C-alpha cells in the first residue's frame, strides 16, 4: 500500500475514534477532518500524526491529543461570528481547528520559535483568519479584547484574572486548571454581565494532562 493510502486510513480511524469517544458536533468533526494534523507534527512523527495521542514539538512542548482538541472545541460552542483568543499556540493545530469555526482567532505563544513556525504553517495552509502573537498569555491581549471565547491550552494553577476581564458578555472560557504535575481538569467559565454586576458560572469538565502555563515571554528562543 502506498504511504498516502496508509495515511488516509489513519485519518478515517481518527474520525471514528473521535465519534466513539463522544464528539457529536458535526461542524467540529468536519473541522477535525479538514485540518491535516500531519502538517503540524515534527517530521519524525508523521506516521503517528492521526493516532489519538499528544506528541512532542520543539521547545519541550506538546501538540495536544486530538480528542482533547475536539472536546475543548466542542465545549466552546463556537459560532461563525465569534472572535476567539487562544493562549498557547504551540504547533498552531488547535488554532487551525478554531479558525474553521470562528471569524477570527488571536493566538499567543511565549516561544518565538514556535510562534514563527506556527505562523508560517498556518499561512501555507491558507488559514488567514489566525493571528499569532508572541507574548505572555497571562496578560491576554487587551488591545483586541473583548473576546467571545477564550481557550487556554496549557495548565494554570488558578484562573488568570486578566483573561476573565477580556471575556465578552455571554462569553465562554475553557482552561485546564491544576498543579503542574498533578491532576488537572478542564474548567468552563461562562460570564454574564447584568445590572447587578458580573456573574461567572464555573463548571468542572474532564480530567486532562497539559504542559504548564508559565509566566512571562520565554527568554530562550
Give the distance from CA 82 to its chain's centroid: 15
Q: Is 162 in the site for ligand SAH (CB under 6 A)?
A: no
Of 137 and 178, nearer to ligand SAH (C-beta) is: 137
Q: Which of the following is catalytic: 64, 91, 99, 107? A: 64
CA distance 110 to 217: 4
The strand pair at 104-109 and 130-134 is best described as: parallel
Size of the site for ligand SAH (CB under 6 A): 23
- Residues 90, 171, 176, 178: which binds ligand SAH (CB under 6 A)? 90
Q: Which of 17, 48, 53, 62 binds ligand SAH (CB under 6 A)?
A: 62
Q: What minimum distance in Å lies between the beta carbon of 131 and ligand SAH?
A: 14
Q: Is 78 in the site for ligand SAH (CB under 6 A)?
A: no
What's 140-156 look like in SS3?
A: CCHHHCCEEEEEECCEE
C-alpha cell belonging to residue 212: 504548564
**Nearer Cβ to ligand SAH (189/208):** 208
CB 141 within 8 A of CB 119: no
Q: How many CB atoms neighbour CB 5 within 10 A? A: 9
CB neighbours of 60 closer than 8 A, spacing ≥ 6? 211
User: Residue 64 catalytic?
Assistant: yes
Among 31, 114, 163, 177, binds ligand SAH (CB under 6 A): 114
Q: How far apart are CA 95 and CA 185, in angstroms?
A: 21
Q: Is 111 in the site for ligand SAH (CB under 6 A)?
A: yes
- Sole window of 12-20, 102-110, 124-132, 164-172 interacting with ligand SAH (rule: CB under 6 A): 102-110
Interacting residues of 126 by C-beta distance below 8 A, sequence separation 6+? none
Say how far apart CA 80 and CA 27 lie, in whole Å.
Answer: 11
- Residue from 136, 173, 184, 191 touching ligand SAH (CB under 6 A): that is 136
Asked if 154 is part of the footprint of ligand SAH (rule: CB under 6 A), the reply reads yes
Binding residues for ligand SAH, rule: CB under 6 A, are 61-64, 87-88, 90-91, 93-94, 108-111, 114, 136-138, 153-154, 211, 213-214
Give the active site residues: 64
Amino acid at each position: 500500500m502506498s504511504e498516502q493510502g496508509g495515511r488516509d486510513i489513519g485519518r478515517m480511524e481518527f474520525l471514528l475514534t473521535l465519534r466513539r469517544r463522544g464528539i457529536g458536533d458535526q461542524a467540529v468533526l468536519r473541522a477535525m477532518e479538514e485540518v491535516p494534523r500531519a502538517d503540524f507534527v515534527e517530521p519524525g512523527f508523521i506516521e503517528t500524526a492521526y493516532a489519538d495521542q499528544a506528541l512532542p514539538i520543539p521547545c519541550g512542548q506538546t501538540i495536544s491529543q486530538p480528542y482533547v482538541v475536539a472536546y475543548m472545541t466542542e465545549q466552546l460552542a463556537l459560532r461563525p461570528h465569534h472572535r476567539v483568543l487562544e493562549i498557547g499556540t504551540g504547533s498552531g493545530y488547535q488554532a487551525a481547528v478554531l479558525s474553521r469555526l470562528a471569524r477570527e482567532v488571536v493566538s499567543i505563544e511565549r516561544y518565538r520559535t514556535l510562534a514563527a513556525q506556527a505562523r508560517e504553517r498556518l499561512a501555507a495552509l491558507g488559514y488567514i483568519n489566525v493571528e499569532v502573537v508572541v507574548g505572555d498569555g497571562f496578560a491576554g491581549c487587551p488591545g483586541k479584547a473583548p473576546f467571545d471565547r477564550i481557550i487556554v491550552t496549557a495548565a494554570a494553577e488558578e484562573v488568570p484574572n486578566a483573561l476573565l476581564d477580556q471575556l465578552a458578555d455571554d462569553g465562554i472560557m475553557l482552561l485546564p486548571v491544576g498543579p503542574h504535575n498533578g491532576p488537572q481538569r478542564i474548567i468552563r467559565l461562562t460570564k454574564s454581565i447584568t445590572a447587578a454586576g458580573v456573574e461567572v458560572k464555573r463548571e468542572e469538565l474532564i480530567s486532562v494532562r497539559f504542559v504548564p502555563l508559565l509566566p512571562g515571554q520565554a527568554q530562550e528562543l
